[in-house]
Structure 1
Amino acid sequence: MNSILRMAATAVLTLALAACATTPAPSTAPTPAHSVLLVSIDGFRPDYLGKGNTPNLDRVAAAGVRAEWMNPSFPSLTFPNHYTLVTGLRPDHHGIVHNNMSDPELGKFSLSKREAVQNPRWWGGEPIWVGVQKAGYPTAAMFWPGSEAPILGAHPTRWHVFDAKVTNTQRVNTVTGWMREPMNTRPRFATLYFDEVDHEAHSFGPFSEQATGAVRAVDTAIGDLFAQMQRDGSAATTNVIIVSDHGMAPVTPSQRINIADMVPTDWVEVVAAGQTVGFNPKQGYEAQASQRLLGTHEHYTCWDKSKIPAKFHYGSNARIPAIVCLMQTGWDALYPDTFAKAKGQTQTRGSHGFDPYSADMRAAFIAIGPDIAQGKVIPAFDNVDVYPLMMHLLKVPAAPNDGDLAPVRGVLRQ
C-alpha cells in the first residue's frame, strides 16, 4: 500500500479503535476538533491531474475527495482569490478587488508594494486565522496573502513574509514541524503556499515543459508532506485541503493588445492592465472614454462598474474603477511601454484574470483527513464555499461570509 493510502487507512483505523474503546461516562465537553491545513498551489489547473505528472496528488484525490473543479471569484487573480478562500467573501466585499488597486485614502496597492500589502486597512472581513485565534487556538501561515498585515489587530500566531527563494522542502519542513508540536502550541489552522507552477506557467505557458516540471516538483513536495505527517502521526488529526486560486490560459505573441489602442491614455487613469482591466476617466473626458470603451469589442468587453454582469458579484466596492474591461480568454491588454518591449517575442506565455467560469480559469480542490469522505468526486462549486467548510471542520463560528456549506457537504465524512 502506498504511503498516502496508508495515511488514509491509518486515520480510519485510529477512528475505529477509538470507537471500539471502553465507552466513557457521558460528557458535556465538546468533541475536540482536528486541525485544518490549507495548501495552495498557485496557478494549478485541475486538468493537470491524472496525466502522469502528479502521482502523489492523484493518490490523495483517490483516497479522499476531489471536486470536478472549483470556480474562482472574479477577478481570477492571486490576491483576490487567496483572500476569498480564507474569508468566504467575494472580492467586492473583502476589498482586495484586484492585484493592482487604487484607493482615494490609501493610494496604490500592488503585490510588490510591501507597505500596502502589510497595511491592514486594505484588508476587509475576518480571515480565518483571526476567528480561530478568537476561539483560543493558535494558527500559522507559511505564506498567504493577508497574513503579513495585522488584520483586526492580529497576524496568524506564526507567519512569514513571502520569500520566493524559500524552497519547497523548507516550506514543507516548517509546516510539518508545526503540526507535530504538542496540542497547546500546534496550530489548529495552518497554511502552506507554493508559487512555482504559477511562475513557470506565466513565463512559458501552462502546457510548457517548464510548467510541467514545476507541477512535478510541487507534487514531490506534496508527497513529502504526507510522508512526514504519516510518520509523526499528525495525519490522523489533520484535515488537509489542497486548492488552487485559479487556472492559467496560454497567450500567444499575437494575442496582445496595446491599451493605447483601446482608449487614448490621456483620457484615463489606467488602474490595472492585463486581463481584467480598469479605467478611471480623467475629469472632462468621462463622455469620450465611456463612448470609446463601453460595449463589446473584438477581443474584450467593457462595462460601467454598476452594470457588470450579476454572475461576477462585482461592482459595488469603491475601489473598483469606473470602467472595467474583461479580455477574451487568451488575450492580454498591455501598457504601451510593455507592449513595445513585447514586440518580436515568440514565446507563448500564460495568463489568468479572465472569466472565472471559463475552462482555463478553473481551480483545483482536493481534501483528505479524519473528517473527510473517502473516494468521492463532487460537482464543481464556488471558492467562497471553502471558508464555511473549514470553519465547520474546526468547530469554530464562522464570520459573516458569502459562502454556503451545502455545495460542499459531500466533502464531509458521514
Structure 2
Amino acid sequence: MNDRSPQQIDRARPRCHCRYMRRLPLCLLFLTILSGCAQPETSFPTSPGGGPVPVIMISLDGFRNDYLYQGDTPTLDHLADTGAVADMHPSFPSVTFPNHYTLVTGLRPDMHGIVGNRMLDPAIPDEVFDVSRGTGLQDPRWWDGAEPVWVTAETHGLHAASMFWPGTDTPIKGVLPDDWAHYDKTLSADDRITRVLGWFQRPVAERPVLTTIYLEDVDHAGHSDGPNSEARHTAAATVDHAVGMLLDGLRQNHIIANIIIVSDHGMAQISPHRAIPLSRLAPVGEMEIVTSGAYAGINPTPGHERSLADALAKPHDHVQCWPKEHIPERLHYGRNARVPAFICLADVGWVLTGPRDTHPVHGGAHGYDPAAPEMTAIFIGNGPAFARGTKLAPINNTDIQPLVLHLLGLVGQTGDGTFRDLRAALTPAYADLQ
C-alpha cells in the first residue's frame, strides 16, 4: 500500500484548485474560500468542507446488467431505485483492461492504446503486456496514450485515490494518485472497503475528492462457474455487501458523496462443445496467436502473410475474421499499431482456442461483440448529483469520463464519449451548469 506517490511527496506547495476549473462559478467559489471575496449567486455544488462533492467510482468486474434484482443485491437495487440507472455498452474488445481504461479516459481502446489484455507493440519490442502473467503492467509506455481522470484531478490540485483500478499503480504521464496499491487478489472486497474508508477519516483537506475501487469477485465466479451459477450469485452478494459497507461508513463519518457503480462488460455461458481450435482456420505454423478466447488476435509468421489472409478469409462456422483494416466500423477497432494484423470474432457462447491454451472451456467468457445482450454492463449513479428514480436509455462506456469530469468541475482530455446522454440523470443543480 502506498499512501503517497513520489510525485505527491514533491508537491509541497499549496494547491490552488481553481487553476483548472472550467466553470467560472466554481473558480470564484474557491477564490471566495481562500480570499474572502463575495460568492457568486450561482455556484457549483460543494461538500460541507468546501470543494467538489467527492466522487467514488466502483467497478464490479463482469457484472452483467441483468444481475440486478435477482435477490442477491439489495444495496445495489436500492441505489438503482433511488438514483439513476442505465444499461451500458462496453467497447470492443469487451475485456477487462481495455474497458477499464475507456471508463476513465472516455476513449475507445483503439484510441487510448490498451487494446487487449495481452498486447504486442512494435515500438516496445522488449516487452509483452500480459494481464494474466503480470508483465508490462507497470510500464508507462503502454498507458501514456491517454489521460485518465485521476491524472486530470491530481495535476490540477485535487486529491485522487484508488483501490486496484487498472493503471493506477503506474505513473501515467508521470503522475500517480495520492493513494494507490499494487493489485492483491488475496485482499477481500470488505477489506478493500475498510482501507478506502480509512482515507475518509482524515482531515477534510486530505480526503480524496476522486476515488476509484475495483472488485472482481463476480467476474471470477462467472468465468469459473458461469453467469447463472450459484457461485456467481454468491459473488454478487459479496460485492453488494462491500458496497453496503462503504455507504454505512460514509454515513457514520457524515460524508456525502456521489457514487457511480459501473462494470466493464457482461458474461456469456460457454461449453466445451462450442470450442473452435484456431488450427481449423489456418495452419498453426502460419500464425502468431497474440490472444484467444471470445475473439482472437493473430499476426502472420514471416513469409505467410498472403496464405494466412487467404485462409482466414474463407467462410468459417460461428466465427468471422477480418484484416485489421477491414474490421467493421461499428467496432471502432483496428487503426492502432498494437491491434494484431487479423481479428477473429466468435459468435456469442463460442470460444477460439490456441494450441497453448491450457484452461478447459467451461463456465463463462466475455470479449464478444459489445452489442450482444450478454455483454451489457451496468451504470448506477446515486448521490446529490443524481435525480431520484431515473431510468436512462442505454449509454456507451465512453460517456463515463465526461460525467466524472463534470461532477468535479474539471475539463480534461476530449474523448469519444459525450455528457449529453447522462445530463438527464442529474438534478438541476448539476445538470444546468455549463
TM-score using structure 1 length: 0.89
**Does 2:162 correspond to 1:141?**
yes
Residue 126 (structure 1) aligned to one of 128, 141, 147: 147
- The CA RMSD measured in Å over matched residues stands at 1.6
User: Deviation at 1:25?
Assistant: 8.7
Question: Match for residue 222 of structure 1?
Answer: 243
For residues 328-373 of structure 1, the C-alpha deviation after alignment (integer angstroms, 9 at most, x for no partner) is: 111111122437x73xx7xx41000000110000001101011111
For residues 259-282 of structure 1, the C-alpha deviation after alignment (integer angstroms, 9 at most, x for no partner) is: 212211110111111112111112
User: Deviation at 1:293?
Assistant: 0.5
- Taking the aligned partners of 1:26 and 1:71, their CA distance within structure 2 comes to 44
User: Deviation at 1:183?
Assistant: 2.5
Question: Match for residue 341 of structure 2?
Answer: 322
Correspondences of 1:340-359 after superposition (within 5 Å):
342=360, 348-359=362-373
Residue 192 of structure 1 aligns to a residue whose secondary structure is strand
Given that 1:278 and 1:324 are in contact with CA atoms closer than 8 Å, whether structure 2 keeps it comes out as yes
- Taking the aligned partners of 2:315 and 2:210, their CA distance within structure 1 comes to 44
Residue 386 (structure 1) aligned to one of 400, 408, 413: 400
How many pairs are equivalent?
A: 383
For residues 366-406 of structure 1, the C-alpha deviation after alignment (integer angstroms, 9 at most, x for no partner) is: 01011111111101010000000000000011212111011
Residue 165 (structure 1) aligned to one of 182, 186, 189: 186
Residue 364 of structure 1 aligns to a residue whose secondary structure is strand
**Does 2:254 correspond to 1:233?**
yes
User: Deviation at 1:114?
Assistant: 3.8
**Does 2:108 correspond to 1:90?**
yes
Given that 1:206 and 1:250 are in contact with CA atoms closer than 8 Å, whether structure 2 keeps it comes out as yes
Residue 176 (structure 2) aligned to one of 155, 161, 166: 155
Question: Match for residue 21 of structure 1?
Answer: none
One-letter amino acid matched to 2:85: R
Residue 397 (structure 1) aligned to one of 405, 411, 417: 411
- Taking the aligned partners of 1:295 and 1:53, their CA distance within structure 2 comes to 45
Given that 1:249 and 1:330 are in contact with CA atoms closer than 8 Å, whether structure 2 keeps it comes out as yes
Given that 1:295 and 1:303 are in contact with CA atoms closer than 8 Å, whether structure 2 keeps it comes out as no
Question: Match for residue 39 of structure 2?
Answer: 27
Question: Match for residue 384 of structure 2?
Answer: 370
Question: Match for residue 212 of structure 1?
Answer: 233
For residues 137-191 of structure 1, the C-alpha deviation after alignment (integer angstroms, 9 at most, x for no partner) is: 1110001111111100011111000011001111111112223432221111111
Given that 1:295 and 1:301 are in contact with CA atoms closer than 8 Å, whether structure 2 keeps it comes out as no
For residues 297-354 of structure 1, the C-alpha deviation after alignment (integer angstroms, 9 at most, x for no partner) is: 2111011111111111111100001111111111111122437x73xx7xx4100000
TM-score using structure 2 length: 0.85
Given that 1:75 and 1:97 are in contact with CA atoms closer than 8 Å, whether structure 2 keeps it comes out as yes
- Taking the aligned partners of 1:213 and 1:111, their CA distance within structure 2 comes to 25
Question: Unpaired segments of 5 or more residues in structure 2?
Answer: 1-35, 45-50, 429-434
Question: Match for residue 121 of structure 2?
Answer: 103
One-letter amino acid matched to 2:162: A
For residues 211-260 of structure 1, the C-alpha deviation after alignment (integer angstroms, 9 at most, x for no partner) is: 111111111111111111112111x2x11100000000000120111121
- Taking the aligned partners of 1:162 and 1:304, their CA distance within structure 2 comes to 35
Question: Match for residue 57 of structure 1?
Answer: 76
For residues 47-70 of structure 1, the C-alpha deviation after alignment (integer angstroms, 9 at most, x for no partner) is: 011111111110011111111x10
Residue 360 of structure 1 aligns to a residue whose secondary structure is helix
- Taking the aligned partners of 1:158 and 1:113, their CA distance within structure 2 comes to 25
Residue 193 (structure 1) aligned to one of 214, 217, 220: 214
For residues 32-79 of structure 1, the C-alpha deviation after alignment (integer angstroms, 9 at most, x for no partner) is: 321111100000011011111111110011111111x10000000000
Given that 2:128 and 2:135 are in contact with CA atoms closer than 8 Å, whether structure 1 keeps it comes out as no
- Taking the aligned partners of 1:400 and 1:393, their CA distance within structure 2 comes to 16
- Taking the aligned partners of 1:112 and 1:205, their CA distance within structure 2 comes to 19
One-letter amino acid matched to 2:131: L
- Taking the aligned partners of 1:155 and 1:297, their CA distance within structure 2 comes to 46
Correspondences of 1:242-391 after superposition (within 5 Å):
242-294=261-313, 296-338=315-357, 342=360, 348-391=362-405
Residue 159 of structure 1 aligns to a residue whose secondary structure is coil
User: Deviation at 1:112?
Assistant: 3.6
User: Deviation at 1:294?
Assistant: 2.3
- Taking the aligned partners of 1:389 and 1:25, their CA distance within structure 2 comes to 29
Question: Unpaired segments of 5 or more residues in structure 1?
Answer: 1-23
One-letter amino acid matched to 1:336: P
One-letter amino acid matched to 2:198: G
Residue 336 of structure 1 aligns to a residue whose secondary structure is coil
User: Deviation at 1:30?
Assistant: 5.7
Residue 260 of structure 1 aligns to a residue whose secondary structure is helix
Percent of aligned pairs sharing the same letter: 42
- Taking the aligned partners of 2:334 and 2:293, their CA distance within structure 1 comes to 18
Between 1:323-332 and 1:111-120, the stretch displaced more is 111-120
Residue 103 of structure 1 aligns to a residue whose secondary structure is coil
Question: Match for residue 5 of structure 1?
Answer: none
- Taking the aligned partners of 1:261 and 1:56, their CA distance within structure 2 comes to 47
- Taking the aligned partners of 2:267 and 2:132, their CA distance within structure 1 comes to 21
Question: Match for residue 197 of structure 2?
Answer: 176
Given that 2:281 and 2:316 are in contact with CA atoms closer than 8 Å, whether structure 1 keeps it comes out as no
